[in-house]
């Protein structure tokens, strides 16, 4: 697979800027800029406000330049973004792990290709499915009840010791956030 094809795949996985791609390939920024220009000319990617997007994703961004959450419609802050990649180049974005976890049961398993979010501490991309979540902490970076993603269970446990909440894997967090969102139902999280 040539580098341009790899760039398209990396953009789909969350590599959204030229610097990250240059570091990944161990080449100069100019080399990646040349590849990006060719991919833009071919209509495969779009550069918007310094961010690299697949052509299909560019249509999801409103005029103001901010993508919005598929669940709550809030503008998406990059460091909290939760993204499902679906077949046929479709993408479903959420503003945070809370909304991303709520969207999961609305996505058909056969359409799902991958899911990515960002580690809350180091802002590195991580798979949603292997992440650890702190649910219902006193820290509320976005929606309530909070759900915050971490790449390691140890980091999630340290965070929960300081801010409260429950440490959960993906499946448990999906169920917990859905239960917490039910109207009129007192919920106790079972561990």
Question: Looking at residue 114, which CATH number applies to its domain?
Answer: 3.30.450.410
Position 67 scores a pLDDT of: 82
Would 72 be classed as within a structural domain?
no
Would 187 be classed as within a structural domain?
no
Per-residue pLDDT, averaged over 72-80, amounts to: 88
Give the pLDDT band (50/70/90) at residue 62: very low
Task: Check whether residue 89 and residue 140 sit in a common domain.
Answer: yes
Per-residue pLDDT, averaged over 137-162, amounts to: 94
Is 132 in contact with 153 (CB distance < 8 Å)?
A: yes
Per-residue pLDDT, averaged over 37-41, amounts to: 88
Give the pLDDT confidence of 90-123 residue by residue, as tens digits: 899 999 999 999 999 888 888 899 999 999 999 8
Position 58 scores a pLDDT of: 60
Instruction: Kindly report the average pLDDT of the chain as a whole number.
Output: 87
Give the pLDDT band (50/70/90) at residue 148: very high
**pTM over cut 0.75:** no
Would 92 be classed as within a structural domain?
yes
Per-residue pLDDT, averaged over 112-141, amounts to: 95
Task: Check whether residue 104 and residue 159 sit in a common domain.
Answer: yes
Would 149 be classed as within a structural domain?
yes
Task: Check whether residue 47 and residue 130 sit in a common domain.
Answer: no
Q: Whole domain around residue 35: which residue ranges?
A: 3-58
Task: Check whether residue 99 and residue 170 sit in a common domain.
Answer: yes
Q: How many domains does the chain have?
A: 2
Position 59 scores a pLDDT of: 55
Burial code of 75-101, b = ≥16 C-beta within 10 A, e = fewer?
Answer: ebeeebbbbbbbeeeebbbbbbbbbbb
DSSP track, 78-138? GGG-EEEEEGGG-EEEESSHHHHHHHGGGS-GGGEEEEEEE-TTT--EEETTT-EEEES-S
Give the pLDDT band (50/70/90) at residue 129: very high
Give the pLDDT band (50/70/90) at residue 190: low
3-state secondary structure of 187: coil
Task: Check whether residue 7 and residue 83 sit in a common domain.
Answer: no
Task: Check whether residue 168 and residue 95 sit in a common domain.
Answer: yes
């Amino acid at each position: 697979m040539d580098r341009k094809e790899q760039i398209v795949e990396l953009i789909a996985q969350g590599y959204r800027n030229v610097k990250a791609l240059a570091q990944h390939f161990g080449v100069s920024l100019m080399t990646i800029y040349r590849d990006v220009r060719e991919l833009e000319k071919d209509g495969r990617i779009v550069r918007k406000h310094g961010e690299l997007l697949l052509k299909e994703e560019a249509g999801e961004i409103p005029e103001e330049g901010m993508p919005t959450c598929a669940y709550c419609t809030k503008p998406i802050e990059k460091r909290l973004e939760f993204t499902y990649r679906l077949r046929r180049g479709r993408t479903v974005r959420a503003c945070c792990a809370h909304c991303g976890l709520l969207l999961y049961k609305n996505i058909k398993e056969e359409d799902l290709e991958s899911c990515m979010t960002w580690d809350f501490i180091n802002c590195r991309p991580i798979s949603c499915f292997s992440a650890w979540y702190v649910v219902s902490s006193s820290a509320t970076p976005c929606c309530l009840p909070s759900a915050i993603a971490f790449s390691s269970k140890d980091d999630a446990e340290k965070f929960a010791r300081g801010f409260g909440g429950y440490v959960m894997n993906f499946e448990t967090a999906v169920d917990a956030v859905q239960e917490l969102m039910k109207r009129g139902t007192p919920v106790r999280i079972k561990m």
